[in-house]
Amino acid sequence: MLFNQTMIDEFTLLAKFPRESKMQGIKLHSDAEPALLSAAQRLFDKGVIDSPDGGYLTELGLDLIEHVTVIHSALKS
């Protein structure tokens, strides 16, 4: 199993979402990194977030952020 750059960009964007509250989201501005803007559109298309420029995590997104958090905690130095 390999993680490609597209997946890493999506992980990176997911990691930017606040984990303290389901009622907090993020907003990507038009001058954000192109890789993050593309990741947001892909995550929106997959039903992970509710807006193509960030917004809030969907139920699927909330599940995924838990896994991203575990992966990050396990792999950080």
Domain definitions of the chain by residue range:
5-15+28-75
Average pLDDT, the chain: 93
Residue type, 24: Q
The overall pTM is greater than 0.75: yes
Angle at 12 (CA atoms; ends 8, 16), nearest 5 degrees: 165
| 42-59: average pLDDT | 96
- Residue 33's contacts (CB-CB under 8 Å, 6 or more residues apart) are none
Residue appearing with tokens 């995924």: 64
* DSSP-assigned beta bridge partners for residue 49: 57
**In this model, does residue 33 exceed pLDDT 80?**
yes
